[in-house]
Structure 1
Amino acid sequence: MKTIKRMMDHLYWADGRILDALAESGTKDKDLLKLVRHVAVAERVWLSRLQGKGSAQYSLWEETEDLTELRTMFEENAEHYRVYIEGLGESELDEMIDYASLNGAPFQTSVRDILSQVLLHGQYHRGQINRALRMESAEPVQVDYITFARL
């Protein structure tokens, strides 16, 4: 549990740093902002599944121009994940969760693997976001785990 909690702390930190970099860049790139929103919504989708709720109400690929709204989404995600993880015991990490994908296909995945997916998915897309910032001649932000660990 200690490792997962630490990795989730990194996720919250890295999400915040990416949002700060986007705000500083002043980007209006709709595809880039759609990607950032995708990360926030995907975090919500997986949390809903972990909580035994449906996720069909979420749309992963909508456009947005509102960084304030995105920041609120990420902050709410962090708050809800913290509560969820604090109530989670080590033995529960291997419990299987039944859920449906957004297209309705049934799946069963362990809590541990779902949390790993959330962590890795966000890091993958933060790399894409940083690359897009660089292509706009904006300054990418360091979001590597080791940078977080050195704080």
Structure 2
Amino acid sequence: MKTIKCMMDHLYWADGRILDALEKSKTKNKDLLKLVRHVAVAETVWLSRLQGQGSTQYLLWEEAEGLMKIRTMFEENAEQYRVYIEGLEESKLDEMIDYANLSGIPFRTSIRDILLQVILHGQYHRGQINRLLRIESAEPVQVDYITFVKR
């Protein structure tokens, strides 16, 4: 649990740093904003599955309504993940969760693998966001795990 908690703390930190970099860049790039929104919505989707709720109401690839709305989504996700993880016992990590993907296809995945998916999915897309920031001549932000633990 200690490792997962630390990796989730890194996720909250890295999400915030990416949002700060996007605000600083003043980007209007719709694809870039759509990508960061996708990360926030994907975190919400997986959280709803962990909580035993449906997720088919979410749309992963919609245009963003603005960075403030996205920041609110990330903050709400972080708060709810913290509550979820705080109540999670290590012995439950390998418990299986039944859910349907956004197309309605049923799946069964362990809590551990879902949490790792959330962690790795966000890191993958933060790398893409940093690349797009660089293409726009904006300053990318350091979001590596080692930077997080050294701060």
The bucket for the TM-score relative to the shorter chain is: over 0.9
Contact 1:11–1:119 (8 Å) recurs in 2: yes
Paired residue type of 1:111: I
SS in 2 for 1:85: helix
SS in 2 for 1:7: helix
Which residue number in structure 1 is paired with residue 22 of structure 2?
22
Using structure 1 for the length normalisation, give the TM-score.
Answer: 0.99
Question: How much has 1:62 moved relative to structure 2?
Answer: 0.5
1:85-123 Cα distance to aligned partner (Å, 9 max, x none): 000000000000000000010000000000000000000
Question: How much has 1:64 moved relative to structure 2?
Answer: 1.4
Structure 1: distance between partners of 2:150 and 2:9 = 13
Structure 2: distance between partners of 1:102 and 1:119 = 19
Please say if 1:39 is aligned against 2:26.
Answer: no
Q: Which moved more, 1:114-123 or 1:56-65?
A: 56-65
Paired residue type of 1:46: W
**What percent identity do the matched residue pairs reach?**
81
Which residue number in structure 2 is paired with residue 110 of structure 1?
110
Question: How much has 1:65 moved relative to structure 2?
Answer: 4.2
RMSD: 0.5
1:27-54 Cα distance to aligned partner (Å, 9 max, x none): 0000000000000000000000001000
Question: How much has 1:22 moved relative to structure 2?
Answer: 0.2
Extract structure 1 runs of 4+ deviating beyond 6 A.
none
Contact 1:28–1:65 (8 Å) recurs in 2: no
Please, which runs of 5 or more residues in structure 2 have no aligned partner? none
Equivalent residue pairs, number: 151
Structure 1: distance between partners of 2:75 and 2:86 = 17
Paired residue type of 1:107: F
Which residue number in structure 2 is paired with residue 142 of structure 1?
142
Paired residue type of 1:131: R
Which residue number in structure 1 is paired with residue 8 of structure 2?
8
Paired residue type of 2:78: A
SS in 2 for 1:98: strand
SS in 1 for 2:97: strand
